[in-house]
């Protein structure tokens, strides 16, 4: 690459990075920020209890008390939790050090995406696609979300880049690199399975039968099977049962008791989300590009553009196969990013054939990007402005009257973000009988009682028998054995 190209590339990525790091130190109170609280808990537990004691498996447990039985989480591969534990070890336990992991992967994914677009087409398409991808609300907001999506996107682009190089140069060493990429991808997210499927289809379409590399075919077929066997063995070794994982998978297939919707409802919602997260401008130009392909409609176009088998195949499987998951989590559309960015760019350049005056076309492109940036910034700010109601003051008060190794009881299930800041082992009780039963077995230090209909007897019993105070409408009862029991 020339010096000017490198400078422009770095400048674009630098600006996107500023967006990714916007409010990076904020608490876990934003839209879907509970994912950050969850994975931060997993990472902290690795440091608190040790990788060996937790059997290298993420755990839900709170506080510093070593539990008799860990509460394991095995719905997703564990690599993200491992990397966050490393970040906490190096930089300390902070929201920003947790978000730093997806931010780093998102930044490097931008470089890889540019290389992919440049390899497939040219610098113009690569730069415009990079701008469309990097400045969407989807990438700016969810590109720093502590979840699998930003990390997997990097491995996705890594694999695709070396796969394209392999198709072009037929160097066997690239297959080894692809294999390494898949190993990390499978340790990151289940979407690696979809990537294997769509890549296999693309490879069968693109490569001549006599020229196909058997090793690559084995990677695309055998690695998913091997991963399933190893993951199933890991689950059985840790939990001794597949029931929880099977129920979780089944519940994600389609409408359930929690979410009821039709196919029409589903597509309406996803279209609405696409317009918000990718911008109306990009959606319009993507539609134009699809129309342009249909108008041309010849086999050579399909063969030249068959990379879309991967770019649109993976995200379609992702949202259609587990519809309930996509209905609940809007960021499941995240993997449409490369398709929308490239398709919108191709449509914009396709219109150049109809706006042959260069000056008019430049003014048109400028207007398109002004509208795109304006809409993206507005939608991004809307996401940033959302604040999930967490009881941070209550969490701080609990921490001020208890020690990390002490245990409390409450009369509600504390939300995941709030529990991250509490970080005390707790048990939920609903009545006096439950309290007396658990209090005999455990050394409880405090009862934290939130105003809740139906718990009047419990709150009255504890208030009348233990020293207490009220803070922000919540009753704190001192249960320590040294406390004087009221007669």
pLDDT per position as a tens digit, 391-434 = 889 999 999 999 988 899 999 999 899 999 999 999 999 999 98
Residue 85 has pLDDT above 60, yes or no: yes
Which of 355, 326, 322, 478 shows the shortest CA–CA distance to 408?
478
* Secondary structure, 3-state, the chain: CCHHHHHHHHHHHHHHHHHHCCCCCCCCCCCCCHHHHHHHHHHHHHHHHCCCCCCCCCECCCCCCCCCCCCECCCCCCHHHHHHHHHHHHHCCCHHHHHHHHHHHHHHHHHHHHHHHHHHCCHHHHHHHHHHHHCCHHHHHHCCCCCHHHHHHHHHHHHHHHHHHHHHHCCCHHHHHHHHHHHHHHCCCCHHHHHHHHHHHHHHHHCCHHHCCHHHHHHHHHHHHHHHHHHHHHHHHHHCCCHHHHHHHHHCCCCCCCCCCCHHHHHHHHHHHHHHHCCHHHHHHHHHHHHHHHHHCCHHHHHHCCCHHHHCHHHHHHHHHCHHHHHHCHHHHHHHHHHHHHHHHHHHHHHHHCCCCHHHHHHHHHHHHHHHHHHHHHHHHHHHHCCCCCCHHHHHHHHHHCCCCCEEEECCCCCHHHHHHHCCEEEECCCHHHHHHHHHHCCEEEEEECCCCCCHHHHHHHHHHCCEEEECCEEEEECCCCCCCCC
Q: What is the chain's alpha carbon radius of gyration, rounded to the nearest angstrom?
A: 26
How many Å apart are CA 245 and CA 233, to the nearest integer?
Answer: 13
Which pLDDT score, from 0 to 100, does residue 304 have?
58
Task: Give residue 483's pLDDT band: very low, low, confident or very high (50, 70, 90).
Answer: very low
pLDDT per position as a tens digit, 334-350 = 999 999 999 999 999 98
Which pLDDT score, from 0 to 100, does residue 263 have?
92
When pLDDT is averaged across residues 189-208 and rounded to a whole number, the result is 90
Residue 142 has pLDDT above 60, yes or no: yes
Which pLDDT score, from 0 to 100, does residue 79 have?
97
Which pLDDT score, from 0 to 100, does residue 305 have?
67
pLDDT per position as a tens digit, 276-332 = 999 999 999 999 998 887 776 655 555 556 888 899 999 999 999 999 999 999 999
Which pLDDT score, from 0 to 100, does residue 15 have?
97
């Amino acid at each position: 690459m020339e010096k000017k190209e490198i400078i422009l590339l770095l400048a674009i990525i630098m600006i996107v990075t500023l967006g990714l790091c916007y409010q990076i130190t904020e608490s876990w109170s934003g839209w879907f920020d509970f994912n950050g609280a969850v994975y931060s808990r997993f990472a902290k537990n690795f440091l608190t209890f040790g990788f060996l004691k937790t059997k290298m498996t993420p755990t839900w447990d709170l506080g510093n008390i070593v539990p008799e039985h860990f509460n394991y989480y095995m719905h997703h591969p564990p690599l993200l939790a491992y990397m966050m534990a490393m970040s906490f070890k190096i930089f300390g336990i902070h929201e920003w050090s947790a978000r730093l992991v997806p931010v780093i992967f998102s930044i490097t994914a931008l470089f890889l995406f540019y290389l992919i677009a440049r390899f497939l087409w040219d610098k113009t398409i690569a730069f415009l696609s990079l701008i469309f991808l990097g400045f969407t609300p989807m990438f700016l907001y969810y590109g720093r979300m502590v979840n699998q999506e930003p990390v997997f996107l990097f491995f996705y682009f890594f694999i695709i880049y070396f796969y394209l190089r392999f198709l072009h140069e037929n160097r066997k060493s690239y297959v080894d690199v692809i294999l390494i990429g898949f190993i990390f991808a499978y340790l990151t997210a289940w979407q690696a399975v979809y990537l294997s499927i769509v890549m296999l289809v693309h490879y069968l379409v693109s490569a001549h039968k006599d020229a196909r590399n058997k090793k690559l075919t084995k990677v695309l077929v055998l690695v998913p099977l091997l991963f399933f066997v190893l993951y199933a063995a890991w689950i059985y070794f840790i939990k001794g049962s597949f029931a929880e994982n099977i129920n979780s998978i089944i519940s994600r297939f389609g409408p359930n008791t929690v979410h009821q919707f039709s196919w029409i409802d589903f597509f309406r919602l996803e279209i609405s989300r696409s317009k918000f997260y990718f911008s109306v401008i990009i959606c319009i130009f993507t539609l134009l590009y699809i129309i342009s392909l249909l108008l041309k409609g010849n086999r050579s176009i399909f063969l030249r553009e068959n990379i879309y088998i991967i770019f649109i195949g993976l995200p379609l499987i992702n949202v259609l196969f587990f519809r309930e998951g996509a209905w609940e989590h809007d960021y499941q559309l995240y993997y449409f990013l490369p398709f929308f960015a490239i398709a919108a760019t191709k449509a914009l350049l396709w219109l150049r054939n109809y706006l042959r005056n260069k000056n008019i076309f430049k003014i048109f492109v400028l207007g398109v990007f002004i509208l795109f940036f304006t809409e993206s910034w507005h939608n991004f700010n809307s996401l940033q402005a959302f604040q999930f109601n967490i009881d941070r003051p209550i969490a701080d008060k609990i921490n001020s009257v208890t020690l990390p190794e002490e245990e409390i009881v409450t009369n509600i299930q504390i939300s995941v973000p709030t529990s991250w800041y509490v970080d005390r082992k707790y048990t939920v009780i609903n009545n006096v009988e439950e309290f007396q039963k658990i209090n005999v077995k455990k050394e409880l230090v405090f009862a934290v009682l939130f105003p809740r209909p139906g718990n009047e007897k419990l709150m009255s019993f504890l208030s009348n028998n233990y020293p207490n105070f009220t803070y922000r409408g919540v009753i704190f009862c001192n249960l320590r054995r040294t406390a004087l029991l009221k007669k």
